[in-house]
Chains A and B, each alone.
Chain A
Amino acid sequence: MAEEIKLDISPMYEGERIRKGDLWVELGGPKADGFELSLATPMDQIEDGKVTVVGPDLGETAEGTTMPFGMVFKVGGEKIEKDLESIIERRNHALLSYISGLMHLNQRYDIWMRIGTNLKKKGVTSWTQIYKPVIDLYKAEMPFIEKMEITIYTDPAEVKKQLANAMAVYAARDERAKGLHDEDVDVFYGCTLCQAFAPTSACVVTPDRPSLCGAITWFDGRAAAKVDPEGPQFPIEKGTAIDAIAGEYEAINQMAEQRSGGEYSVMKLYTFFDAPHTSCGCFETIGFYMPEVDGIGIADRDFKGAAPNGLPFSTMAGQTGGGKQVVGFLGMGVLYYFSPKFLQADGGWDRIVWMSKGLKERVKAGIPEAMFPKIATEADATDIESLKKFLLKVDHPVVNGVSRPVDGAKITEGWKFEDIDDDMKEKVIAFIEATGGDIDTEAVKAKLGMSEGQFMQVVEALQADGVLE
């Protein structure tokens, strides 16, 4: 048993780099396997304070060695549940880095550690001497940890084996994280990082709604707010929703008012039309409402042509950007297209009629299978007329009215003529005469360019005129 050695431990060593000239041993990183894993373990299966080394110990390692390395922390306590594992594991970086002569980078199966020669000079010969104090650090910082046991793996075959086990644990955690929704959390995050360019922009980042720029997920917001509480990312206590479907929260309204300098007092998360989210300046994609088809189109930054509304991305972005709340235009991040709450108040994907082709392919996995062929791209439609024809042909929900999937409420009426002129009446009469009264809706769409509803509008007008019975 190696004797205890007093190590130099302080938060000031976090960020310490072990340079090549001071290197004793390098663990994991780009050249060797490495992993860290914290496991919530029943109390009776933990030998508190114990450190076991499987494979050659530190004292047997030559200077300048790069080797595979794994560390498994078993933690137990009355309050410790599976969900706490990743939160505990996340502290490895800081707590290990507090040790002078130990550098720890990255996380999980990407860890990269270096031990400096200064620890060798101090007389350290065993991993036990380094990791026993780590147990104390953990217990001091997280008092809910009642018992903790550490196993260090340095034997290459054993590291490989344990790494495979760890990968299964990470995969299960990722599945849980992907299943995290706005309902599951108490805190959202705000971000004002781009207020330098967009002074009234007040971004809200939730599990179901990543930032407009695409760079910040809810997890990023949480991490950043913790690292720098005074920084541009900050927590918003969610509270209860005023309107759960549109995503209106009192706390978000207050934040919007405060951070936009009083410019906006209402800001809703999952809608395009009524008090939508502010649009910063460098959102990845822009949505635009086209009243002629009562649907929404989306263009991405790489789309250089004009959208069916006649405008290129840059023009629309210029009108909308700068932190404005513009009804009918909305900046959105690419990750939002994978969200189950994507524009849910407006009908979600049932309301999307056009996308630039590159974007549509990129987010294919997020688009409901039934809707994918119904959304036009620049290959199908380049202006409103060709878009109308396409939407008629594919029976897009906007044509006959959208019932939004979130609650089944019918939110649009479908296409209707505002005025019915003589020209339309003549066409319809000619059509009815040509078909001999056997009306086929496909033929109505193809020959007349009208929806069923529009055709019936004209027929009703003709009936009112007494032309038809």
Chain B
Amino acid sequence: MGKIIAVTGKGGTGKTAVTAMLIRHLLKESQNKYNILVIDADPDANLADALGVEASKTVGDMREFMQESRFTAAPDTDKQRLFESKIFEILIEEDGYDMLIMGKPEGSGCYCFVNNLLRGIMDKTVVNYDLVLIDAAAGLEHFSRKIFPELDDLIVVTDESRRGLTTAERIRDLAKEMDLKYKDLHVIVNKVTPERREKVLETAIGLGLKVIGAVPFDQNLAKFDLVGDPLTGLPDDSPAIVEMKQVVKELGL
């Protein structure tokens, strides 16, 4: 089984942009060394947009389909297989990577059974990839349901403020409370201004956090964001992209 990495962080920190840039870098630089599965697990974010991919139906949609299937499917339908096929149907197949969008959270009914099926399907799915990258909401919802297998790396993206950095601490506590297992916790500080870089790193060390990237504020990125262009098109020499080299190295990829 390959490596499983989750990227999380509060809204507005640029978590999705960082994830997209990381994917861009891996696709470009590693020459398809990895079979990558990208999972958008943040209903507020839009990773598909950032990657220039047309969004498909979501795992949430399929979960609802499964809830209704008991009225519509043949009585002896194997639900695990039906669900597995439905998940494959919404898999977005791109050059170099596949993508799955988790979508909206559950409704008010009982999802124990269908989530249990989903767990089994996810376990079987991720072994097909060398690298699984999850863009996760700060509340880590899907992790509390244990939908995803254990993580290798949990990355918290923050801005350069002290408050931002303490978010990383809080997420570390939350992960502990939820019994979310990971091997390493890293921090990527985003939109760092050159003059504050030293100070930010110092604060992080003071909080016991391991910073694997300090992504500089990037005019190109700001321009792309403004018009909504996919970040995969960013030029190689964009300062934010250049920093991804460091991140990938730190992650051992």
Contacts and interface: CB of A to CB of B under 8 A. Distances in A.
Given A19-B98, A174-B75, A177-B74, A106 B85 contact: yes
A16 interface: yes
Interface string B119-163: 010001101100000000000000000000000000000000000
B33 to A, nearest CB: 14
Nearest to A335: B70
B229 interface: no
A217 interface: yes
Given A16-B128, A17-B128, A283 B110 contact: yes
Contact of B124 (A15, A178, A282): A15
A21 B35 CA distance: 10
Contacts of A401: none
Contact of A177 (B76, B80, B84, B113): B76
B80 A106 contact: no
Nearest to A177: B75
Contacts of A214: 70, 109-110
Given A110-B85, A214-B70, A284 B110 contact: yes
Nearest to A280: B110
A215 B80 contact: no
Contacts, number: 98
A232 B116 CA distance: 10
Interface residues of A, number: 46
B112 A217 contact: no
A106 B61 CA distance: 18
Interface stretch (B2-10, B87-95, B165-173, B178-186): B87-95
A357 interface: no
B67 interface: yes
B31 interface: no
A211 B128 CA distance: 34
Nearest to B83: A106
A180 B75 CA distance: 10
A147 interface: no
A30 B110 CA distance: 28
Centre residue among A30, A106, A283 by max chain B CB count within 10 A: A106
B82 A106 contact: yes
Interface stretch (A42-50, A59-67, A219-227, A268-276): A219-227
Nearest to A211: B113
B114 A215 contact: yes
A172 B195 CA distance: 75
Contacts of B93: 19-20
B54 interface: no
Given A15-B127, A20-B98, A213-B110, 18 more contacts: A15-B125, A86-B76, A90-B78, A93-B78, A105-B85, A106-B85, A112-B85, A112-B89, A177-B75, A180-B75, A210-B70, A219-B75, A219-B76, A220-B113, A223-B79, A232-B116, A282-B109, A301-B108
13 contacts: A19-B93, A20-B93, A20-B98, A90-B78, A108-B74, A110-B85, A112-B88, A213-B110, A214-B109, A217-B70, A227-B80, A282-B109, A301-B109
Interface of B: 35, 67, 70, 74-82, 84-85, 88-89, 93, 95, 98, 108-114, 116, 120, 124-125, 127-128
For the complex of A and B, 4 pairs with smallest distance between CB atoms: A282-B110, A213-B110, A215-B113, A106-B85
